[in-house]
Amino acid sequence: MTLNIQEILVLQNRVAYARDEQAYKKLFLHFYPSLFRFSNSILNNESIAEEVVSDVMMRIWEMEIKLAYIDKLGLYLMTSIKNASFNQLPKTEKKLVDIEVIDENDFTNENPESRYIYTELQSRTEKAIQNLPKQCQLIYRLIREEGLSYKEVIAILEISQNTIEAQMRIALKRLRQTLNAYLYPKK
Amino acid sequence: MKRITENQFYDLLSLKLSGDATPEQLNLLQDQLQLNPEWQFLYDQILQQPFSVKDENKFAELAYAVHTTKMHLKGHLTENALKSKEEKLIKNSSSKVIQILKYVSAVAACLLTIFLFKTVFLRSKINTSNSNEVTTKKGSKSNLKLPDGTQVWLNSDSKLVYASDFSNNREVELIGEAFFDVTHDERHPFIIHTGKANIKVLGTAFNVRNYPSEKKQQTTLMRGKIEVSFTDRIGDKIILKPLEKLIIQNNTDKSNTSSNQSTVELTKVIYASSDSTIAETSWVNDKMVFINEALENIAAELERHFAVKVIFKNQEVKRYRYTGVFGNVTLENVLMIIQLSKKINYKTEGNVITIY
C-alpha cells in the first residue's frame, strides 16, 4: 500500500486524535516493508527485526496526541528504527565495523527461508552488497532500495554529504567489479 | 565529448538514484552511458528492480496481525472499542452473513485440515510442594507475569504451574491454553511441559493449546523459534518457525494399548485477512474464530468463554459446521448469527442452553 504525504498526515491525525485503528493499520502496512528491510540490513536477523519494527510502531500508537506533531513521519520512523536496531546489536558490534562474508546460499532460490527470488546475477550482487562495510551498505540500501534523498540519509544516519559520496563510490565500484567477474569469469 | 572519470560517474549515478540529480546532470549521465557500454550495463543492472518480493504485502498483513495481538496484550485496542464496532455489525444481521461468507473465501487458501483423536493427560513434573499455581475458571481469562518477566495470558478453564525458584529453573506445566511472551535468557531455557510434549523456547511469542477434553494439542509460534520434543518419542524434535503450528494427536485406542504413539502434524497458522486475525490467538484479542468447525466443538468453546452449559438433545445437529469470526459479542448474538448460517433450534434457561 502506498500513500502520499497528505494521506499520511491525515492518517496520523486520525490515529492521534480519533484513535482510529483502521488509519493505524494503513500506516503500518505502508511503512512496514521498508522499516523491516532497514532493520534487517542492520541486524541480519529477521526475527529481531520484526520485533524492533513492532516496538517502534507500538510507540507510535502509545504517543497519542504527540503523533500529530511529527513533521515527517517516514523520516522519524526510519531514524527510530536505526536507533532501536543498533541498540539490539551486541556491544562489540555497535560501531559500524566490517561484517563477515555471508554465505552465498542465503540468497539463492534453494533457501526456503528467503522471502526473495534471485537470478544468479542478482544473487551475486546481493552478496556483494552484504559484504560491504556496514555503513557503506546501509547508505547504499537507503539510497538505492528505499529511494531516499541525500538529505534524508544525512538526517537518518547523522553523517555528512561527503561521507555519502565517498561510500557510494565504494559501493558502486564494488558492484561494478562483481558484474565484471560475472561477465568475464577467470578460468 | 570527453569521458568523465570513474568517480565522477559514480557521483552522477548516485545522485540519479537518490533523486537529487539536476536536469543537466541527468543529461550528462545519459551522454556518458552512451559512450561507455560497460557503464551502461552497470546502470541497467542497478536500476532494475533488485528483487521480486514474494507477496510483500502479505508479509506486511501477517506482521500486522501479530502486532495487533501484542497491542491487545498491552491493553490497547480495548474491549469498548471492539464492542462498538461489533454492535454496528450486528444491527444489520444480513451484513454479518456477508462478512462470514467473505471470510470463508479469504481463508480457504490458508486452511489445512485438523484431525481429532483422543485426550492428553498430564504427568506432574514439578514438585508440587514447592510451586505456584494459577487457575482460571470458565468465562474468565488471566494475565500474569512470571518472576523472570515473562508475560503469560491464560485462557478460560486453564492452569499454569511453575516452581518457586523460577529464575533458576524456568519450567512450567500447562493444562488449557496460554499465550507466552518469553523474556530472553540464554542461560536458562524456558520449558513448557504438557502431557505429550515438552516445548523449549528459543524465541519469544507463542500460543499453546492443551485442553484435556480436546482431542488434540496445538502449539502456534508467532515470533522467534521453539523446539518441541515428545515424551513418548525419545529423540524426535521439531523446530517451529514463525507462524507455524504444531498439532499433536494421541493415537490411543482403548482396546489396543500397544501402539500408543502420538501423531504429529506441522502446518501454517490460519489467518483471516479481512479481520487481520490469526485464528489460533484470536482469543487473546477477545475474538473467536471458527473455520468449518463442528457445532459440538463450537459449543465447547462457548461453554468455556461464557461459562454456560450446552446440552444437545439432537445428536445430528452436533455435526453441523460453521465458519465465522466473532468479536466481543454476547452469547445470544453468537447463537443468532449461527442461526443465520444454518438453522438450529435452541432454548436458553439461565446458564443452560439446550439445542434440539
Interface test with B, best of A1, A14, A144, A156 (most B CBs within 10 A): A144
Query: Mean pLDDT highest for which of A17-21, A121-125, B208-212, B248-252?
Result: A17-21
Compare CB distances from B242 to A47, A117, A151 and report the shortest one's residue.
Answer: A47
β-partners of residue B253 are B256
List chain B domain ranges: 1-12+22-50, 56-111+274-355, 128-269
d(CA B89, CA B325): 12
- Partner B contacted by A126 (CB < 8 A): yes
CA angle A154, A158, A163 (to 5 degrees): 65
CATH 3.55.50.30 for domain B56-111+274-355, yes or no, is yes
d(CA B49, CA B43): 12
Q: What residues of A are in contact with residue B74 (Cβ under 8 Å)?
A: 58
Averaged pLDDT for residues A62-82: 91
Q: What residues of B are in contact with residue A19 (Cβ under 8 Å)?
A: 81
- pLDDT of residue A106 exceeding 60: no
Compare CB distances from B18 to A51, A143, A183 and report the shortest one's residue.
Answer: A143
Could A125 and B242 be called an inter-chain contact, meaning their C-beta atoms sit closer than 8 Å? Answer: no
Same fold, B56-111+274-355 and B128-269: no
- Partner A contacted by B41 (CB < 8 A): yes
- Partner A contacted by B254 (CB < 8 A): no
- Partner A contacted by B101 (CB < 8 A): no
Interface of B with A in 271-290 (CB under 8 A): 276
What integer pLDDT is reported at residue B55 of this predicted model? 65
Model pTM above 0.80: no
In chain A, what are the domains? 1-92 (1.10.1740.10), 95-187 (1.10.10.10)
Could B81 and A21 be called an inter-chain contact, meaning their C-beta atoms sit closer than 8 Å? Answer: yes
Closest listed residue to residue A121, CA positions, set B37, B48, B53: B48
Compare CB distances from B51 to A116, A165, A176 and report the shortest one's residue.
Answer: A116
Between A3-12, B99-108, B224-233, the lowest mean confidence (pLDDT) is in: B99-108
Q: Which residues contact A135 (CB under 8 A, 6 or more apart)?
A: A96, A157, A159, A163, A167
Interface of A with B in 29-68 (CB under 8 A): 29, 32-33, 36, 47, 50-51, 53-54, 57-58, 61-62
Could B64 and A28 be called an inter-chain contact, meaning their C-beta atoms sit closer than 8 Å? Answer: yes
Q: What residues of B are in contact with residue A116 (Cβ under 8 Å)?
A: 51-54
- Partner A contacted by B22 (CB < 8 A): no
- Partner A contacted by B19 (CB < 8 A): yes
What integer pLDDT is reported at residue B202 of this predicted model? 66
Tell me what percent of chain B is helix, strand and coil, each rounded to the nearest 5.
35, 30, 35
User: A98: distance to nearest CA of chain B, Å?
Assistant: 22
d(CA A4, CA B353): 53
Q: What is the pLDDT of residues A14-68, one digit of tens each?
A: 999 888 989 999 999 999 999 999 998 888 888 788 889 999 999 999 998 899 9
β-partners of residue B290 are B324
- pLDDT of residue B119 exceeding 80: no
Cell numbers representing residue B24 in the block: 543537466
Q: What is the pLDDT of residues B323-353, one digit of tens each?
A: 776 776 778 888 887 777 777 888 888 889 9
User: A169: distance to nearest CA of chain B, Å?
Assistant: 6
From residue B272, give the alpha-carbon distance in Å to each of A33, B57, B104, B295, B309: 20, 14, 9, 20, 29
Q: What residues of B are in contact with residue A168 (Cβ under 8 Å)?
A: 10-11, 13-14
- Partner B contacted by A181 (CB < 8 A): no
- For the segment(s) B128-269, the CATH number from 3.20.20.70, 3.40.50.2300, 2.60.120.1440, 3.10.129.10 is 2.60.120.1440
- Partner B contacted by A125 (CB < 8 A): yes
What integer pLDDT is reported at residue B102 of this predicted model? 36
Compare CB distances from A122 to B51, B64, B66 and report the shortest one's residue.
Answer: B51
- pLDDT of residue A170 exceeding 90: yes
- pLDDT of residue B255 exceeding 50: no
- pLDDT of residue B314 exceeding 90: no
